[in-house]
Structure 1
Amino acid sequence: MSEKIKNRAKGAVMGAFIGDALALGPHWYYDLEKLREDYGEWVDDYTAPKKGRYHEGLNAGDISQSGYILKMLLGSIVENKGYDEKDFCRRMDNDLFSQIDGTPVSGPGNYTSQSIRDTYRNRVINNLQWGEFESHADTTEAIERTLGITAYYAGDLKKASKNVYSNTILTQSDELLASMTVAFNAVLWMLINGYPLDEKISGRLMEEVKNKTLPFHAVTGDGLAPPKKGVSEPSRLGRFASPDALLTPSFIVRAVEDPGISIEPAWKVSLVYGMPCAIYHILPSVYYLAARFKDDFELAVLHAVNSGGQNMARAMLTGALVGAQVGIDGIPGRFIEGLGEKDCLLKLTERLVG
């Protein structure tokens, strides 16, 4: 792995941790007037949660449970020199489930997401084995940890995608969600490897489908041309019936670059695509901010933080995409210095890509 790729991979991982921690205080405000009342017109740094809010009791710069799980997965990858599913599941059982009780307000970060609560219930209460149960939570929770897999496998998109899918379905079984999770990680992989987030990115991803690297089914030809009459349908390469999740990023980039389309200020992207937690609300807004502020980590992540609703997922994933574009050297030092676990996270990230 070249030094430039390492720098971008570190930027992606640290960008995710920073986005997660920046949104800790103003997390899940659907009343934007209340958000401004509690934190002012513009949140520009780490803040502690207010009394009675999500994550109450944590300090400014702390990471949430999403960050904790990402850190746990990175530790597993580093110690095993690659993704080891059995080890990850063991860590979930021993290191996370021992700290939560299946209710929303519990465990690291003082809040547990729906898919993790479902998984806890199936493993601890119902005593089911990993792979024997389902969770239909439609959030970005799996992306928030699997981005670490993609950073590690920056040299092998096929292996990255295979392991991202395998890890995703441990806690979220919906196939459409899994396809969007793999697609996001494929975009992240492209950015880590130096490809720009431009109108051509979906075309590049479709080439990887054609090359049997990404597990998507497609019948169109080059440039999404219609299939020729009499030509048999290509064999299904994976579980995903449609490559549409790979096409979204290019359309979002076109919207960013179209002078006839304006979202001002940019944080209002959450009002356009939706403030809730579902993956189909979060990813378009993430792609938008990552394309609009591709060279400015601070503006990208702060617009995500100030957008309300599920701004933690929005900021975490935006931080990963823009961190991959600017590299860790392009992230303002104050954001790294302000992290409560700065030294631990930097060391872990260095070992991941080293």
Structure 2
Amino acid sequence: MFDKRKAKELVLGSLIADSYCLGSHWIYDEKELKNLPTNWEELNNACSLWHKGKKAGEFTHYGDQLYFLYQYIIENDNFDLEQYIHFWKEKMEKYDGYIDGATKTTLENLNANKAIPCGSSSTDISVIGRIAPLLLISKTKNQFFQNVEKFVRATHNSSIVVEGAKFFAKVLVDVLDNIEMMEAIKERKDEFSTTIQKYVNEGLYSIEDETFDAIRKFGPACGIDEAFGGVIHLLGKYTNFKEALIKNAQAGGDNSARAMIVAMFFIARYGLKVIPKNLTKIKVQIDIS
């Protein structure tokens, strides 16, 4: 059984990371990024058209979907895939935020009565940043890994995203077991495909590079082939969570997807003390008790 308080801390950390990125999320133009009307020390209103009207402390659609999973688990104390996906469907059909491609396709498949899991074939990495609530109802490491796969396939039924999620899930468990993070990353990669090994190695090789340059080189978009290396870069380069958040956000693109994964690892290693108090003023709170 995983420590429930720690699991809730991971959820809260990922939500805060998403909220912090709201201001610059999905801004790709380099000139625009450098001239955004944002205060990088604070939570900011959304600048992107995709999140028009969202205010500081709110979430992107990623953070909202993370919170929906957390709500489901708190209310049901289990993770039954069919029950969860109908809960998720009801939430998303009423949702007034951005509906991304993975969500749209999954809803279409559900409405066509396709067998569950009937997730999209999206290779978007963002779903990996939402796995922390599954620690709350997983009694063993293997059950956690199984729940992660079920959860990912529910909306992102892509083999490379499932494999990437398993990689990060295994490293996360190692860090929770007090194994040094970079040691765990380097050792775990050899259990996975040459594609995952390539992503990890490229991220590790980039650690000495400036973050803006490294992320723009990998590609700042949401696809796992671009974002995975950026996540490894951030985990390897920084020991200061605030600095990692700022540098990642300033690189733009799908910075929230990267930040939510990074946040899980920093909180797993160092706890909530790494989060500046002024960034905790988000629209919902997690009862850590």
Both proteins in one fold, TM over 0.5? yes
Give, in angstroms, the shift of residue 150 of structure 1.
Answer: 3.9
Relative distance call for 1:247 and 1:30 in structure 2 (3 A) is: closer
Contact kept, 8 Å, 1:199 with 1:253, in 2: the verdict is no
Relative distance call for 1:200 and 1:173 in structure 2 (3 A) is: closer
Contact kept, 8 Å, 1:191 with 1:197, in 2: the verdict is yes
Question: In structure 2, how many angstroms separate the alpha carbons of the residues matched to 1:312 and 1:13?
Answer: 14
Does residue 45 (structure 1) correspond to residue 42 (structure 2)? The answer is yes
* The one of 146, 149, 158 aligned to 2:134: 149
Give, in angstroms, the shift of residue 7 of structure 1.
Answer: 5.9
SS in structure 2 opposite 1:346? coil
* CA RMSD in angstroms, aligned pairs only: 2.6
**Kindly, what percent of the aligned residue pairs are identical?**
22
More displaced, 195-204 or 138-147? Answer: 195-204
Gaps of 5+ in 2: none
Question: In structure 1, how many angstroms separate the alpha carbons of the residues matched to 2:206 and 2:251?
Answer: 19
Contact kept, 8 Å, 1:198 with 1:253, in 2: the verdict is no
Question: In structure 1, how many angstroms separate the alpha carbons of the residues matched to 2:71 and 2:35?
Answer: 39
Instruction: Name 1:312's counterpart in structure 2.
Output: 256
Question: In structure 2, how many angstroms separate the alpha carbons of the residues matched to 1:134 and 1:298?
Answer: 34
> Deviations for 1:116-174, whole angstroms, at most 9, x for unmatched residues?
110111223x343423x452111013213223214654x62211111111111111222
Does residue 159 (structure 1) correspond to residue 102 (structure 2)? The answer is no
SS in structure 1 opposite 2:36? helix
Instruction: Name 2:158's counterpart in structure 1.
Output: 174
Contact kept, 8 Å, 2:27 with 2:253, in 1: the verdict is yes
Does residue 346 (structure 1) correspond to residue 289 (structure 2)? The answer is no
Question: In structure 2, how many angstroms separate the alpha carbons of the residues matched to 1:152 and 1:243?
Answer: 32
SS in structure 2 opposite 1:23? helix
Give, in angstroms, the shift of residue 62 of structure 1.
Answer: 0.2
Question: In structure 1, how many angstroms separate the alpha carbons of the residues matched to 2:271 and 2:29?
Answer: 34
Contact kept, 8 Å, 1:29 with 1:35, in 2: the verdict is yes
Instruction: Name 2:120's counterpart in structure 1.
Output: 135
Question: In structure 2, how many angstroms separate the alpha carbons of the residues matched to 1:62 and 1:86?
Answer: 28
For residue 17 of structure 2, what is the amino acid of its counterpart? G
Question: In structure 1, how many angstroms separate the alpha carbons of the residues matched to 2:35 and 2:78?
Answer: 46
Question: In structure 1, how many angstroms separate the alpha carbons of the residues matched to 2:56 and 2:45?
Answer: 4
Contact kept, 8 Å, 1:202 with 1:248, in 2: the verdict is no
For residue 244 of structure 2, what is the amino acid of its counterpart? A
> Deviations for 1:184-223, whole angstroms, at most 9, x for unmatched residues?
22222222222211245432576xx6xxxxxx6xxxxxxx
Instruction: Name 1:13's counterpart in structure 2.
Output: 11
Question: In structure 2, how many angstroms separate the alpha carbons of the residues matched to 1:30 and 1:255?
Answer: 21
Higher radius of gyration, 1 or 2:
1
Contact kept, 8 Å, 1:8 with 1:325, in 2: the verdict is no
Question: In structure 2, how many angstroms separate the alpha carbons of the residues matched to 1:284 and 1:200?
Answer: 16
For residue 69 of structure 2, what is the amino acid of its counterpart? L
Query: Which one has a larger percent helix, Structure 1 or Structure 2?
Result: 2
For residue 168 of structure 2, what is the amino acid of its counterpart? F
Instruction: Name 1:79's counterpart in structure 2.
Output: 75
> Deviations for 1:6-52, whole angstroms, at most 9, x for unmatched residues?
56534422221111111112111111211222236x622211123x7
* The one of 301, 308, 318 aligned to 2:245: 301
Aligned residues: 289
Question: In structure 1, how many angstroms separate the alpha carbons of the residues matched to 2:59 and 2:42?
Answer: 14
For residue 346 of structure 1, what is the amino acid of its counterpart? I
Give, in angstroms, the shift of residue 285 of structure 1.
Answer: 0.8
More displaced, 271-280 or 8-17? Answer: 8-17
Contact kept, 8 Å, 1:200 with 1:250, in 2: the verdict is no
Relative distance call for 1:152 and 1:299 in structure 2 (3 A) is: farther
Contact kept, 8 Å, 2:242 with 2:274, in 1: the verdict is no
